[in-house]
Amino acid sequence: MFSLLSTSIILGALVFLICFWFVRRPKNLPPGPWTLPIIGYRFKTGHVHEAYVELAKKYGPVFSIRRGPFLFVVLNDRESVKQALVKSGEFFSDRSVPGPINWTIPDAKKKASIVWSNGKSWVDLRKFSLPALRSFGFGKKSLVPQINLEARYLAEEIKALHGEPMDPSAVLNKATANVMAQLIFGRRYEYDDAEFIEILQVMVDIFAFVSDNDPVNVFEPLIHTPWYKPYREMMIKQNKFIHAQLYFHRETFQKDNIRDFVDAFLADDISKEYTLEDFGRIVLDFFTAGTDTTAVVTSWALLFLSVHSDVQRKVQNELDAVVGRGRQPDTSDRPNLPYCDATLMEIMRLRPVVPISLPHMTSADASLGPYTIPKGTIIVPNLWAVHHDPKEWCDPHLFNPNRFLSADGQTVVKNEAWMPFSTGRRDCLGMQLAMMETFLLFTNLFQQFEFKLPPDQPTHSMRGHPGLTMPPESYKICAIER
Ligand code: HEM
């Protein structure tokens, strides 16, 4: 009897101590909601960026929250994002790796990834990757003909539908994936290539499978349960595709003929430190980061301009006046196309492709304004909140490209609160390429087509489908040749 009682007391005390450990708040943290022990805060919506805005109304632009065993600090205004990621970038630039992604990184010790690594691996891989990719035109003017060629293939595919309603997401993904495939694998794929179609669908499904409020992000072991079997299978398929390209390159490699990014890896000393399989994850980082994001911006552009036909008309008038119909647009036209530029910026403001950016993590105890943020805290830069902050933008929920134009409409006006590529030392590595590619795809498409929602579906939700990125919810559109 006594031993049963004492065992219960000891067990009770133990449970209390564990709960206490999970709910205890380190001193001087930003305020935040009370959360359940162990489980942490549960969102009622998949649109976590919007839920964070609601919490910020109650607790202020910088608040803390527990999710699973982790402490999160969410930054909801320009000042706090800049303060953390730029001014105190030294302490706020490590990456936190969500559970399902951690599971995909081959060498846990080396963290062979560019998006998801820290410290020496991240520095070494960034130092190797950027110059290697730039030597094949990454983000440089020399890439314009390749992107414009892809824009022609894209236009041909759309023309073949003769204005019939189509979901543009798959074909946009093919175009952006081909730009990356040429840089990385030195080749493009035909749009009817079955393997290409399948792998792009797998990529889209992977991005959409795990939303930010999914418990697997904070309880990684869940990835081994049957619920995540489709995710595991898709990752295996994706890796198989990447590895097949890598093995082909190894077999056909000639050191005096470096064809692309994979060859650059095989020729560099870095291949002594990372195996070809490790390198697969780095290739995947670039291929996925460079494909889905740019396609998502273009997809939002088609939808927004179909809904706002007055803006579409102005875009087309500017294109007709500056570029005409006899040649393709070029990046050198950009300064003369301020309305097109402003429209693209407004689309990326209203629907940032990665609404809560990618998670950062503090590498040491650090201060942020009046608060102390412990080492290992997950930092969430809520770009959506910055882009919808009424302190920064007049009528932030309205679609208005003029907000990025000077009073005479002749020049683009920058705003420090515009940060779709995030900011600081961990900002988007592909920003120059993305800016160039979205501009060329956007101008090529609106030069040649008028886009309209189908007559029987005159409206569409503009909320978006949140996953790792946020594309529009699936829609159909008619492209009429001009
Ligand atoms: C419109 C298109 C794009 C948008 C809106 C975008 C946005 C972002 C954002 C928000 C981040 C997280 C930055 C942070 O953690 O602070 C990021 C990281 C990254 N992006 Fe992009 N991206 C785009 C296109 C691209 C392209 C075309 C590439 C090229 C392959 C690319 C490669 C990367 C890489 C490698 C990182 C990780 C950087 C690091 O951790 O050091 N992105 N991007």
Q: CA 382, CA 367: separation in Å to the nearest integer?
A: 19
Give, for ligand 1, the residue of 75, 283, 284, 428 to mutate: max count of ligand atoms closer than 8 Å to Cβ: 428
Q: What is the pLDDT of residue 14?
A: 60
Q: Please report the pLDDT score of residue 19 as a whole number.
A: 55
> What span, in angstroms and rounded, lies between the C-alpha atoms of 263 and 259?
6
How confident is the model over 265-285, as pLDDT tens digits?
A: 999 999 998 999 889 999 999
Mean pLDDT, the chain, whole residue set: 92
* Among 408, 478, 442, 253, CA closest to 329: 442
Does residue 49 lie in a domain region?
A: no
**pLDDT at 4 exceeding the cut of 80:** no
Which amino acid is located at 370 in the chain? P
For a ligand 1 pocket test, name from 293, 418, 422, 468 the mutation site with the most ligand atoms within 8 angstroms of its C-beta. Answer: 293
Q: Distance, CA 430 to ligand 1 centroid (Å)?
A: 6
- Nearest residue by C-alpha to atom 9 in ligand 1: 421
pLDDT for res 38: 84
Cα separation, 320 vs 316, in Å, equals 6
Locate the ligand 1 atom nearest the alpha carbon of residue 176 and give its number: 27
| Residue ranges around ligand 1 (CB below 6 Å) | 95, 114-115, 285-286, 289-290, 293-294, 297, 353-354, 357-358, 420-422, 426-430, 433-434, 438
Q: What is the mean pLDDT of residues 369-392?
A: 97
Q: Provide the domain limits for residue 434.
A: 93-354+388-481
The pLDDT of residue 8: 67
Asked whether residue 88 is domain-assigned, the answer is no
Q: Whose CA is nearest to atom 27 of ligand 1?
A: 290
Is residue 31 in a domain? no
Distance separating alpha carbons of residues 386 and 393, to the nearest angstrom: 9
Lowest-pLDDT range of 120-124, 360-364, 392-396: 120-124
Give the residue, by CA position, lying nearest to ligand 1 atom 21.
428
Please give the model's pTM, rounded to 2 decimal places: 0.93
Whether residue 77 is contained in a domain is answered as: no
Q: Residue 462 corresponds to which tokens in the numbers above?
A: 């503009």
**pLDDT: is 325 or 12 the higher one?**
325
Instruction: Output the domain CATH number for residue 237.
Output: 1.10.630.10
Q: What's the pLDDT at 457?
A: 86
415-437 pLDDT, tens per residue? 999 999 999 999 999 999 999 99
Q: Which residue's CA is the nearest one to ligand 1's atom 18?
A: 428
Q: How many other CB atoms sit within 10 Å of the CB of residue 227?
A: 12
Please indicate, yes or no, if residue 48 is contained in any of the structural domains.
no
In the chain, the number of structural domains is 1
Q: Is 19 annotated as a binding residue?
A: no
Cα-to-centroid distance, 473 and ligand 1 (Å): 22
Q: Write the secondary structure of the chain as one string of H (helix), E (strand) and C (coil).
A: CHHHHHHHHHHHHHHHHHHHHHHCCCCCCCCCCCCECCCECCCCCCCHHHHHHHHHHHHCCEEEEEECCEEEEEECCHHHHHHHHHHCHHHHCEECCCHHHHCCCCCCCCCCCCCCCCHHHHHHHHHHHHHHHHCCCCCCHHHHHHHHHHHHHHHHHHHCCCCCCECCHHHHHHHHHHHHHHHHHCCCCCCCCHHHHHHHHHHHHHHHHCCCCCHHHCCHHHHHCHHHHHHHHHHHHHHHHHHHHHHHHHHHCCCCCCCCHHHHHHHCCHHHHCCHHHHHHHHHHHHHHHHHHHHHHHHHHHHHHHHCHHHHHHHHHHHHHHCCCCCCCCHHHHHHCHHHHHHHHHHHHHCCCCCCCCCEECCCCEEECCEEECCCCEEEECHHHHHCCCCCCCCCCCCCHHHHECCCCCCECCCCCCCCCCCCCCCCCCHHHHHHHHHHHHHHHHHHEEEECCCCCCCCCCCCCCCCCCCCCCCCEEEEEC
The rounded Å distance from CA 441 to ligand 1 centre is 18
Both tokens of residue 134?
């730039």
pLDDT value at 18 more than 70: no
- Residues 160-195: tens digit of each pLDDT: 999 999 999 999 999 999 999 999 999 999 999 999
Closest CA to 39 of 195, 307, 160, 218: 218
- The answer to whether residue 46 is domain-embedded is no
Ligand 1 atom with the smallest distance to the CA of 116 is 40
Asked whether residue 23 is assigned to any structural domain, the reply reads no
Report CA(426)–ligand 1 centroid distance (Å).
9
Predicted confidence at residue 20, as pLDDT, reads: 55
Whether 455 is in a domain gets the answer: yes
CB atoms within 10 A of CB 162: 10
pLDDT: which is higher, 308 or 42? 308
